[in-house]
Amino acid sequence: MVNKIDVPSRWTNETGEAVAKQNELAADVYSTGQSIEEMRAGYRTERAYWNEGGPVMAATVDGVIPTDHGDIAVRMYRPTTDAVLPVIFFTHGGGWCLGDLDTHDRMTRILAEESGAAVIAIDYGLSPETKYPTNLQQCVAVVQAVRAAAGEWGIDGDDVSFAGDSGGAHIALASYLYLREVEKAADNVRALLLFYGWFGLRDSPSQRRLGGPWDGITQDELAFYIGQALADERQIEDRFLDLFRNDLTRDMPATYIVAAELDPLLDDSRLLADILESSGIPVKLDIYEGIIHAFLHHSRLVPEAGAALAAASEFYRAQASQS
């Protein structure tokens, strides 16, 4: 890897500790030289440690929602006993190939506690078994089904938001855009909370200069994940994959974007924030210095993880007074 920044020399002490723990738990967890099954097993093993502890919910409800694209498991986190809560739909990261409801459990619990909303995590189908756009359509179908049965779920179907990390941030934004453009059902969306997502850039300064075994998203590895997700390489031009092909200058909800200074996907966040800000869309971009991709998992060691989720929740709550 040529022309790369020496990331380990720049990350915070706590980030170094988190990477060391990650390597202890599952060395080479992000190596694309192994099978998808091996990658998933290592990912689950490593994430189990990071999900210990954290907030206790008033209620956690697992369910299954039938859709035209299969039965989709969901998990609802309710931070209070209120009968009706606003809802944040959460889609997990993992390059569309890795992750599940358990691998992101602590992150979603913290988001529920800090925001005061019911957080519904969606266990969409993983690639390569589930190809794009089926995973996106699954998530949209879940959102529509829950909104249609809002009373049964104890949520306010007219106060909906979307959140996600990494590849899940991509699905969160894509879900909103699909609802807006295809379903014509994007009303009453309070906010988007997008944590260090990939939104469509296939080359950028941050991709050229950053990325390594600690995050598993060098340019070659990013191409690997995209390749696993696509049924046809021509889909890379699809507007619900390359999200910058959509008109982001209109009809966008307030958007909070978390980015990390040492993340190859940093420029995706910068570009999205720039488009929204220049178009008069309420947006806030927070870039955490000395921090790497996927740091929200490391809330047991990295204080910036808790700070980012708290800031996202503060932004989210502030939007209630704007609606």
**What span, in angstroms and rounded, lies between the C-alpha atoms of 201 and 184?**
26
Instruction: Select which of 104, 293, 297, 298 is catalytic.
Output: 293
DSSP 244-306: GGS--SSS--EEEEEEETT-TTHHHHHHHHHHHHHTT--EEEEEETT--TTGGGGTTT-HHHH
Report in angstroms the alpha-carbon separations of 303 from 8, 12, 296, 297. 18, 10, 9, 11
Angle, CA of 269, 251 and 135, to the nearest 5°: 60
User: Residue 76, SS3?
Assistant: strand
Is position 321 annotated as part of the catalytic site? Answer: no
Instruction: Select which of 123, 263, 267, 268 is catalytic.
Output: 263
Is position 263 annotated as part of the catalytic site? Answer: yes
Angle, CA of 157, 158 and 162, to the nearest 5°: 75
User: Residue 62, SS3?
Assistant: strand
Instruction: Select which of 166, 175, 206, 313 is catalytic.
Output: 166
Radius of gyration of the chain (CA): 18
Total residue length of the chain: 323
Active site residues: 166, 263, 293
